[in-house]
Structure 1
Amino acid sequence: MDSLIEDLDNENESIRSNAMDELVGMGDEKTIGSLVQVVQNENLPLEMRKNAIVSLGKIGDNGTTELFLDISMNESENKHLRMASILALGDLGDEEALESLRELSYGDDGLILYHAAYVLAPLNDIYEVYGTYGELPYPLTEEQRSYRNNVGEIVFGVNFSEFPPIVNSSMTLGHDRKTGYIEVMTDVNPGTSSMDEMYRIISTEAEKRGVYQVPVRFVYGTFSFA
């Protein structure tokens, strides 16, 4: 096992990946304990600690939940360890722990918020959602980078006057960093046909910038960044 743990920091990506797969396959109490020690040892290389977190998440032992949550919520912790821990929490699927990620501040790092949004997306939301279109790209992929780099221009470029009118409603369009989605907020349910049309308009603007399957949600309410 010691050689496999050493390989978590190997410069060869294939060797790192194989070591992680073997450790996950072992997945016994001794392996879990050794990986936890790696994560907690601040003197070890960052890559080794990050890959230990990824391996633990894939093993799926719920005893590591608090460790991952503590790292995820600690704003002074290394960003890459926090992102790996958030995804590991998603692998574990502990909904109570995942709900704690909603407490992250809007002022936190954008990638941290995106990772949290990604693992929270399958859960029931804290407010009413009329409809969801597209999907959040997996974190740190080219698709996610393209979306994140262009989302502001997509929102700014949408011609609001082309939206179908929603009777007796107020409507706003923006990007919520905590959910990751472009959100159309209105106090009246637009209905499927109107949401389809509005998504088509937003999607057309996104595709001009190379973003496909753009994630958009239609939600009840107005924007609040408290």
Structure 2
Amino acid sequence: MQKTMSASEKSLSESKLLSKAQRLLKHALGKDNEEKWQEQYARGEWAWLRNLDELAHHSILAGYFMRLKPHGSLLDMGCGEGILQESIPETMYSKYVGVDFSEPIKLAAHKCTERTQFVVGDMNTYVPNEQFDAIVFNESIYYLNNPLKGLQRYAEYLKPDGIFLISIFIKDKHEEIWRQIQSVFPPLDAVTVYNQKGTGWTCKVLTAPKR
């Protein structure tokens, strides 16, 4: 004989189903990852990004910007607490805007000036309110839902002759990201660098198709 659930049992079952649905929705929207990153930043678990063995790829991107777009404007997507911004003297850019989730932005907020801004935002939905000379994805392009479509959207916010500056950790599966985005955005230059531990990054300057 089929057992009839009591009102309390039915309510508990519906609550579990709702909770499961909410978890699945958060996963689909990437909200579970966002909450994880927020918690990790709050606990200081991303402080290793300031280690000496992380310096090389930051320095290459900073050097590209200062050589190719001196005194230009820079949009840094997935900026963290602004480590790349610290590699570029403020006198070398007219405007810097860093975008990331709220916890890293809290750590960067004290550096805000007339030229330097840090904004809370999700790179998959963020809409710049102006065009920039350079847009950076420094170890962050993996977090675009679709890297190629994401760059195509952000290309609308590059000034004429603007550039993308991209650093990607060397891993076999990341070669597909380069293949996809370079089918539309040809590289102007590229550098591969390894630290003493054997960890490597490829840094590239990508140009946008003429509009």
Shorter-normalised TM range: under 0.3
- Normalization by structure 2: what TM-score? 0.27
Larger helix share, 1 or 2: 1
Larger strand share, 1 or 2: 2
- Normalization by structure 1: what TM-score? 0.26
